[in-house]
Amino acid sequence: MDGTPPYPLDGDDDRDDLAALDFSVGYDDGEESVLGVFDDYLPSEETDADDDWPAIAARDMEEEELQSPLFTVTNPAGTVTVSAFMDGHIQGIELTAKVTNMTEAHLADEILVIADLARQKARSAQYESISEAMRELGQDNATTRDFLTRELRLPSPEEATAAAAKVFATRYASDHD
């Protein structure tokens, strides 16, 4: 290499080397936009002025109908509410402003206790649902109960109710004095 560039340096500043990167359309030929093909998919009827997005509202209503039922437990003070899906997964925790009077450790413990009760309540509904389906299929109740209890470890509705009663009687007994 002799140090000369591979292109001529003739001082031609009229060239625009960056023009190749210009992707803008510089002319209008009067033709319709290609996006006009989507006009056939627009709703034809007039929509309510309050409902700017009817398709989204309809989808939201369908999702609400498809959602799994929630099982909710609230502590006696009404400060902690926990909701769980039927499979026992926690859907949400609601706290009131009164929880600011609790220590972090006490609040954490309270959430865990109420969440466990909500989980048991939800899983007992799963037990009941499966038990009812198996009964309709003609399965033996004793065998089904044994399977649900031993294999799936689902609490019966009676067991979930008894667990909640025990917690409320022992943990919150002094709250009513």
Instruction: Give pLDDT tens digits for 92-110.
Output: 999 999 999 999 999 999 9
pTM over 0.85: no
**Residue given tokens 């996006």 in the structure block:** 35
DSSP string covering 9-37: -S--TT--GGGGG--------SPPPGGGG
Instruction: Give pLDDT tens digits for 122-170.
Output: 999 999 999 999 999 999 889 999 999 999 999 999 999 999 999 999 9
Q: Give the start-to-end residue ranges of the domains of the chain.
A: 70-173
